[in-house]
Each structure stands twice: as structure tokens, then as C-alpha cells.
Chains A and B, each alone.
Chain A
Amino acid sequence: MEKTSSNLLWHGVLLAVLLSFGYSIVLASQSIEYNWRWERVVPYLVNMEPKSAVAPFDGVAKVSADGLSVVVTSDNGEPDRAYQEFSHLIVGDGDLVFEGDVIVTREDWRMGPIMNGLVVTLKISIVSLFFAVIIGLFVGLARISSNPLLKHLSLLYVEIVRGTPLLVQIFIFYFFIGTVLGLDRFTAGAAALSIFAAAYVAEIIRSGIQSIPAGQMEAARSLGMNYSKAMIHIILPQAFKRTLPPMAGQFINLIKDSSLVSVISITDLTKAGREVVSGTFAPFEVWFTVALLYLVLTGTLSWMVKLLEKRLATSD
């Protein structure tokens, strides 16, 4: 009983802290006389401008009796053009129309630049994540291999990648490797991100494998499984489960790090944000929106990982 009432109190305090935090943002923006114009951001998210259909030639418009279709008859003997399923009729029955005149308009929406940027960020994150896991798995296995070549090569890779800034790696990939191999910017950016994240994934996988008791491998080998079968069926599934939490953290980092590819002119969410700021003069709104969209991506990812963790917990 006492516990619940004090919990309630702390939740109240939490709410008060959040409210005062929000209020201080309002105060801060007032102190610099900033006018919030959230509506300016909306067209850059979703473009709701109606799509219009124009006459391809000069002629006469004929609207059907029920008003649901228009036929434009050409003055120069070109085949008739019919328009249906529109939301606004611009011409009247019997109107003369000239080439380029708007006949009808249709409700439509297109993704604005920020949404396009979000899609690019999502795409580059998924591609990099996929390759990071594959490369990381092999590097992680090489790290624990007894073969000196594999062991030292993988260690060198991990040390080099972890010891240099991602931004520098992206430049190297774009300006050096990209030029040598003729990579486009997206490929170069995705490759840099994959190689960078793979080094961390490799370390996570290595520690995951090493955390599985040696008896598991012994039991598998004693049943006649070779090393790779034992890895695939026994060790990796258990290691995978144990490494999910750090792996989720790494994947979230990858999504956030992908914002750095904007420096090689990939129009990802961050670059789109920068471009929209210069078009709208609404930097606060745009950057808050961009931050929120990153949060949606990372939040969805960690939610999916939680679901997976729950499903894998059945054997505990």
C-alpha cells in the first residue's frame, strides 16, 4: 500500500519535470523571439498539392450529363482524349480548350524531401546492417579461429576500423576506394557504414561465442558433429540470443551513424533536413522533425528486437 502511493508520487514528479522541461523550451524560444511555424514543415513531409491533367492539343471539351467524365475533341483530327475519376472539374461543357489548359485535377499526395530522405536513410541502414552482420559474423569467427592468418587479419581489421573515425572512413571510401573501383556515392556510403559496423558486430559475436560454455561444443563434437555443424546448430543460436541486446544497441548506432553519409552528398534524412532548413527558414521545426523521425526508426528497431528477445526466451 505504501509502495503504491509513493510510486504515484514519483510519477507525479516525473510528469512535473517533463512539463517544466517543455515549458522551458517555450520560454527559451520566446526569449529569442522565435515564431514557430510548424505548418511550413508539412509540405516537405507530404506534398498534398493536387495533380492536374492538361489538354494535349487544342479542341472542345464535352462534359457528360452526370459530370463524371470529360472528353476533349481535337480541332486537328487527333484522337479524342477522355478524363475520368477526377476530383475537380475545371472546364465547362462546350468550352474551347487550348493545349496546356488544365482540364481536371485529382487529389494526390507525394512524399516530400524529408520523407524521401527518411527512405534513403532507411535503405542505407538496412543494406549496411545486412552486410555488417554477414561480414561481422565471418570476422568474429575468424577472431576465435586457431589459424594465425585468420586470427591476426581479423584483429588488424577490427583495430583499424575501431581506431579511426567513421567520418574519415566515409571520405576514404568515397574519394579513394570509390574512385578506384568506380563506386557511386550510395554504394560507397553503404560500404563504409557496413565495414565500420561489422567491426563492432564481430566483437559482439566473438564475445557471444566465447560466453557459451565449452561443454556445449564438446557435447556437439562428441555426437559426431564437425566444427561447422556444431557452430551452426549449437553455438551460434545460443550466442545469437545472448548478443541480441548489445547487437540492438549497435544497430541503433548504425542508423544514427548513417547521418554522416550526408557529407558525401547522399540525400539522407539529415541532408534533406539541411536542405529544407534553407528553403523554409524554420530550422527549429525541421531539426525537431528530423530528430523525431530518427527516433521513430530507432524506436521501431528496438521494439522489434524486444519482440524477438521475448520469442527466444521460451527455452529459459
Chain B
Amino acid sequence: MLAVLTFIVRRSLWTVVVMFVITVVVFFIFFKTPGVDPARALAGRDPSPQVLAEVRQQLGLNRPLWIQYGIMMKKIFITRNLVSYSDQGELIIPEIFAAAPITLSLVFGASVIWVVAAIVMGVAAARLRGTIYDPVLMILALIGLSTPVFWLGQVVILITQVKLHSSIFSWVQLGYTPLTQSPVKWFEGLIFPWITLSILYIGLYARVLRANLLEVQNEDYVRTARAKGLSERRVLLRHTLRTSMITFLSLFGLDFGALVGGGAILTEVVFGIHGVGFLTWESLTNLDLPTIMAVVIYGAFFIVLANALVDVAYAWIDPRVRPT
């Protein structure tokens, strides 16, 4: 038990160190790129001299480097009053915090769909190996994997909102309603974005899982399980799939983190879901550097956090890496 606690504490400390390094790197990219005046870059398009002076003063740009870094981090993490100069002085951090649950809803729902569908497809393909169904499933997965999200999203919108909106899909009202407000509306508004986002991952995960299952199937301990007289079903679920989930899970943690960190940008833009990805896209089109910087740090934070969670989950699912 003590070993587990030490492991978690050590892992958390490490996460803090990584976060610190990321903020430093991001800070240097945005403030210290040679030949760029950071005030001009941060102040938005065609700033007036007054705005420039205000930015310099607010961010302490004429003070020593480490104070500049300190002011920036204070504005992001403590006072949370970093403003976007191109967006009429909007406060950035609250904006991100408002967008986060929307992105989380999108990614969570999509991940449930893709995990379930990928396991079903991967297991079916591995089980049906040698029949025509295996290559058919894998070609389907490959198609899913290579379908661009922006195109698929447009097609889904075209079908549900235009072509068949008056008949089958009249219940579909795209757009985000908080789960706490109305679970039904939340679901109706997000189901098609979920599907759209998950298609790529279903394809990817099904292929990875199938390959892994076939590899594990040749392991000696699977032969042992069969020699014990267990049913094929039990051998597959309790022995083959169980160990294959180790790879599956680590992949999942990383993708989930990256998506919550803003990686679902295309889906959010196509469906007009105002999550973190949408915010990123908006600030990119407006050259709104303070927002971009904050979003990058926020995204990195989620990826690092997901990594840490994967490590803990790893220990839970694989006794060999458990701390002793």
C-alpha cells in the first residue's frame, strides 16, 4: 500500500515538473521568438500605440525575463485575468473553462462509442479469421480510419439536417445543451458529432486490437488456457482479450487526453460546437496569440494528466508493472 502511495506521489510530482517545462517552452516560443516584438504579436491586428504601451505595461515586457514569465503564469493560473486584445478584452481563462465541459462531453461520448465498437469489431475480426468477414471488417476499419472528419461531418449534417431532416432525423437538433439542464437534449445534440468523431478511432482501435489479439493468441499461456479445458469464449475474453487491453488502454489514454486538450478541433468547427477546439480555431483565424498560448498550455495539461492516469491504470491492469 505504501509502495502504491509513493508511486502516485512520485508520478504526480513528475507531472508537475513536466507541466513546468511545458509552460517555460511555450513562454519562450511566444515571447522570445527572435525578431518578433511580443507586445505587437500579442496585441492583435494593427494595435494603436496606446494599446501597445498598455500591453507592455500589463505584461511587464520591459522587466527581466523571469518576471515576465512570472507575470504571465500569474495571469493564467492565479488571477486568471489574461485578456484577449483582439477580442475586446475578453477574459481568456473563464472562456476556456466554459468551453472545457463542452469538449469533455463531446470526447467522452465519442470515446464510449469508439471503445465499444472497436472491441466488438476487433474481437469479431480476430475470431472470424480465415473467413471472408475478417478482411471485410478490416477494410471497413481502414475506410473509417482514412475518412476525413471534416468531410464526414459535412455529409452527416447534409443527411440529418437537410435531406432527411423532415422525416427520420427530425429529432436531431445539433448544438450543445449542458447535461445538467436536459440529458435528452444533451444526447440528441451530440450523438451525431460523437459518431463522426469516433469513426476514425473505431477504425484505428479495431485494427490495433485485432493485430494484438492475433499476437496474444499465439502466446503459450493461451494454449495453457485451452489445455485447461476452458471454453473458446472464456479463453478469448478472460485470457486473450484481457492481456490485449494493456496496449489498448495505453493508446486510449493518450488519444483521450489529446482530444480533450483541443484535438477535436475539426469536429467542433464542422458542427459548430463551442468547445476548446472551436476556441482554438477562432483564435487562430483572429491571430489572437494570448488565447492560443493559453489553449496550448491547457491542452498540454490534459495530455500530461492523461499520461499520468494511463500510468496508474497500467499498474492496475498489468501486475508486472505494479510498484512493490
Q: Do A and B come from one complex?
A: no
